[in-house]
Amino acid sequence: MSDSETLPPRTAARKPPATIYDVAKATGVSPSTVSRALNKPGRLNEATERRIREAAEALDYRINPMARALPTGKTGTLAVLVSDITNPVYFDVVRGAERVATANGLTLVFAESQESPELERATAERLQTSVDGLFLVASRLDDAQIGELAAVKPVVVANRLVPGVPAVVPDPRPGITAALEELRERGHRRIAYLSGPEASWMNDVRWRTLFQFAVDRGMSIVEIVSSAPTREGGAEALQRVLAADVSAVLAYNDLLALGLLRAARDQDVDIPTRLSIVGFDDIFGADLPTPALSTIRSPLREVGEAGIRRLLSEIDGAAEVDIPRLPTTFVSRESVADLR
C-alpha cells in the first residue's frame, strides 16, 4: 500500500485572520479610524465608513471583542437575563433588545434563570465578567442582590422597580382599567385574580392594582394562588377557581389563562358562559384557541428597546435616556361573556 493511500490528506494551511491594521492598510486610513467606523457607526462621513466596511468584508475581518476590551475596557457585548426562556412573553422583549444592540454594533447574549433566584444570581455574576452591562427582565432577585450587581457593572431592570437602579416598567393601569370596565359593563360582579410567582414584583403590582380598581367599581375580588406561571399551573387551578364562585378570572399572564381555558374545555366547563377569562401580555398565540383569549397587552418590544437604550447610556456615562411611557391596553376577544 502506498504512502498516499495510508496517510490522511493534507489540509491547506489556514490563512491568518485579518487584523484592523490590514483593513487600515487596504483603505489608507489609520487603525483608529477603522475602529471608529466598525465599532461606532455614524461618526465618520458615509463614504469613508462604507469604504472601510467594504474592505473589512473583503478581507473577512471579524471584530475581536476581547481585543477591543483591552484599550477601552469594553467588550461590545450586553447580556439579557430572563426568568424563563420557554415563556413566549420574552420573545418580543428580546427582539426589541436585539434591534437596538445591533443598530449600535453590539452583541447580545441571552440567558435564563429557570425561575430560580439562586441560578439567576450565579448566572448574572458569571456574565458580568465578559459583558459591559446586564438587562434583567422579570428578575427574581431581591433589591439588595440587584443593587450588588449594579455596583459591579451597569444594570437595567424590566418589569420591576429597584431603588437606585434604572428600570423599564409598563404601566398596568390603563389595561386593567379597560378590562374591569368591560367586565362590569357586561354584568360581572364577582371576579378572581389567578396570581403568579410570589417573588415576582409585577405580580404584586398587578394584584394590588386589580384589587383597588375592582373595589372602586363595586366589584368583589379574590386572589387564587397558582402553582407555577405556566399552562400547567393554570390547568391545576381550575377547581379552585370554580370553587370561588366567580364569573370571571384575570390571570397573571397568558400562559396561566390558556392553561385554565384548556382545562375548562377538557372538563366541559363552558367558556365564557360559565367562566370568563382574561390573560395578561398578549403573547403570540393568545388569539388562536377557541374562544380566542381576551387579554391585557403589554408593550413588550418597546420594553426591550427602551431597556437597552438606557443600559447603553449607563455604560457610556452619558445623559440619562428618557424612558417613554409604556401603557398597557385591553384586547377584547371572545373569552368574556355578557351576563346582562
Q: Let me know if residue 143 belongs to a domain.
A: yes
What is the C-alpha separation between 269 and 267, in angstroms, rounded? 6
Banded pLDDT at 64 (limits 50, 70, 90) = low
179 and 287 part of one domain: yes
214 and 288 part of one domain: yes
Q: Residue 250's beta-bridge partner residues?
A: 193, 278
* The pLDDT of residue 47 is above 90: no
Percent helix, percent strand, percent coil in the chain, to nearest 5? 45, 15, 40
| Of the residues 152, 168, 184, the one at which a domain ends | 168
177 and 295 part of one domain: yes
Q: Let me know if residue 254 belongs to a domain.
A: yes
Split into its structural domains, the chain has a count of 3
295 and 179 part of one domain: yes
Radius of gyration of the chain, Cα coordinates, nearest whole angstrom: 26
pLDDT at 6: 53
Query: pLDDT digits over 131-165, tens only?
Result: 999 999 989 899 999 999 999 999 999 988 899 99
49 and 26 part of one domain: yes
pLDDT at 70: 45
Q: Let me know if residue 320 belongs to a domain.
A: no
What is the CATH classification number for the domain harbouring 202? 3.40.50.2300
User: CA 276 → CA 115, 121, 252, 262, 308, distances in Å?
Assistant: 28, 38, 15, 13, 37
Is the bond leading into 197 cis (omega within 30 degrees of zero)?
A: no
Domain housing 154 = 77-168
Q: Let me know if residue 136 belongs to a domain.
A: yes
24 and 100 part of one domain: no
Q: Let me know if residue 95 belongs to a domain.
A: yes
184 and 245 part of one domain: yes
Query: In sequence order, which ranges of the chain are alpha helices (DSSP H)?
Result: 3-6, 20-27, 31-39, 46-58, 65-72, 89-103, 117-128, 143-150, 173-185, 201-216, 231-236, 238-243, 254-266, 300-316
| Of the residues 114, 138, 168, the one at which a domain ends | 168
102's grid cell: 445591533
What is the CATH classification number for the domain harbouring 58? 1.10.260.40
Greatest mean pLDDT among 86-90, 155-159, 195-199 lies in: 155-159
177 and 164 part of one domain: no
Whether the Cβ atoms of residue 294 and residue 338 lie closer than 8 Å to each other = no
pLDDT at 115: 84
281 and 178 part of one domain: yes
Q: Provide the phi-psi class of 60: left if phi over 0, else alpha when psi is between -120 and 50, else beta.
A: left
45 and 142 part of one domain: no
Q: Which of 52-56, 66-70, 84-88 has the lowest mean pLDDT?
A: 66-70
How much of the chain, in percent, has pLDDT values that exceed 90?
Answer: 65
What is the C-alpha separation between 118 and 1, in angstroms, rounded? 61
Banded pLDDT at 1 (limits 50, 70, 90) = very low
| Of the residues 168, 197, 219, the one at which a domain ends | 168
Over residues 4-27, the mean pLDDT reads 68
What is the C-alpha separation between 75 and 159, in angstroms, rounded? 27
What is the C-alpha separation between 106 and 88, in angstroms, rounded? 24
pLDDT at 20: 79
178 and 164 part of one domain: no
What pTM was computed for the model?
A: 0.75
Determine the distance from the C-alpha atom of residue 208 to the mean position of all C-alpha atoms in its chain, rounded to a whole number: 23
194 and 284 part of one domain: yes
What is the C-alpha separation between 313 and 307, in angstroms, rounded? 10
What is the C-alpha separation between 123 and 114, in angstroms, rounded? 11
Query: pLDDT digits over 257-299, tens only?
Result: 999 999 999 999 999 999 999 999 999 889 999 999 999 999 9
Write down the mean pLDDT value for the chain: 88
Q: Let me know if residue 135 belongs to a domain.
A: yes
Q: Let me know if residue 154 belongs to a domain.
A: yes
Determine the distance from the C-alpha atom of residue 63 to the mean position of all C-alpha atoms in its chain, rounded to a whole number: 27
Q: Let me know if residue 46 belongs to a domain.
A: yes
Query: pLDDT digits over 312-326, tens only?
Result: 999 988 766 677 789
